[in-house]
């Protein structure tokens, strides 16, 4: 699979334009998804220029290399890449329902990869995913 992963709020805590602390197990899990499960990881972020270079170097220095960065294939140029990335899955803190923890993401990809594409995966077992606290419209 080709998996697009956001940087701020997903790999590191939000501190944009600075780089926040690493979210526990994010890079370790992404490396395992690459090496053990053989998926391609694409960095998909709003960062550009020096800010993008800093994010890529941050990950590289921790042993995480990306298949591609803000594009579908490594040989594409940024100018001819489509605005919409062609990925099998997106991991982003802005997902509907929020960001599950990295252990859940890894185990889902390893043990139930076909279920990762259903909308019900986060509601199948309350033992695996904690309930999302409901909030009122104006809170």
Model pLDDT, residue 96: 74
Contacts of 22 (CB under 8 A, 6+ apart): 11, 12, 13, 62
pLDDT at 64 over 80: yes
pLDDT tens per residue, range 107-128: 989 887 666 654 444 444 444 4
Average pLDDT, the chain: 83
pLDDT at 130 over 70: no
Averaged pLDDT, 80-88:
74
Which residues partner with 42 through β-bridges?
A: 4, 68
Please state, for a pLDDT cut of 90, what percent of the chain lies above it.
Answer: 59
Structural domains for the chain:
2-93 (3.40.50.1000)
């Amino acid at each position: 699979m080709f998996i697009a992963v956001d940087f701020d709020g997903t790999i590191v805590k939000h501190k944009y334009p600075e780089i926040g602390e690493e979210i526990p197990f994010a890079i370790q899990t992404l490396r395992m998804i690459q090496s053990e499960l053989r998926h391609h990881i694409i960095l998909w972020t709003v960062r550009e220029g020096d800010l993008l270079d800093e994010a890529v170097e941050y990950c590289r220095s921790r042993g995480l290399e990306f298949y591609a960065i803000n594009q579908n294939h490594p040989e594409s140029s940024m100018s001819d890449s489509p605005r919409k990335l062609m990925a099998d899955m997106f991991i982003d803190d802005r997902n509907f329902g929020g960001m599950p923890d990295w252990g859940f993401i890894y185990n889902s990809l390893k043990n139930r990869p076909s279920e990762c594409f259903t909308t019900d995966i986060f509601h199948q077992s309350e033992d695996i995913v904690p309930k999302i606290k409901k909030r009122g419209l104006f809170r």
